[in-house]
Amino acid sequence: MNARTKVLFLAPLLAVGAALLAAPVAENWENHCAKCHGADGKGQTKAGRKLKVTDYTDAKVQAKFTDAEAIKATSEGVKDDKGKERMKAYKEELSPKEIEELVAYVRKFKS
């Protein structure tokens, strides 16, 4: 088997393997987001109230940001006007696909 054939054979297997390792979106929400944003997206947790996170069930709140902005915030983190971190970056813990899935998950909270 030559090198090109090996690559053509192994690439799909690696892609399937990576997809199997990705956590379900609800699990990612619970593990990375719910502490502040709450299981229901309302932000009424101790940490969420302290950080004054927004209520993702409010359609007006959701209208204020695009999916691209949410992806960037999740990937790169969020800082306040003084440069203090309000939300950590998740580009190391989550794949781009998982971050996109989280944004879609947030959109479902909208009332």
Q: Where are the domains of the chain?
A: 23-107
**What is the average pLDDT across 16-45?**
85
Give residue 20's pLDDT: 45
Could you tell me if residue 92 is left (phi over 0), alpha (psi between -120 and 50 degrees) or otherwise beta? Answer: alpha
Distance CA 27, CA 82 (A): 32
Give residue 16's pLDDT: 47
**What is the average pLDDT across 2-8?**
54
CB 37 within 8 A of CB 85: no
User: pLDDT confidence of 34, banded at 50, 70, 90?
Assistant: very high
Question: 23-107: which CATH architecture?
Answer: Orthogonal Bundle (1.10)
Task: Answer yes or no: is pLDDT of 39 > 70.
Answer: yes
Distance CA 62, CA 49 (A): 18
Nearest to 29 by CA among 111, 84, 99: 99
Task: Answer yes or no: is pLDDT of 14 > 90.
Answer: no
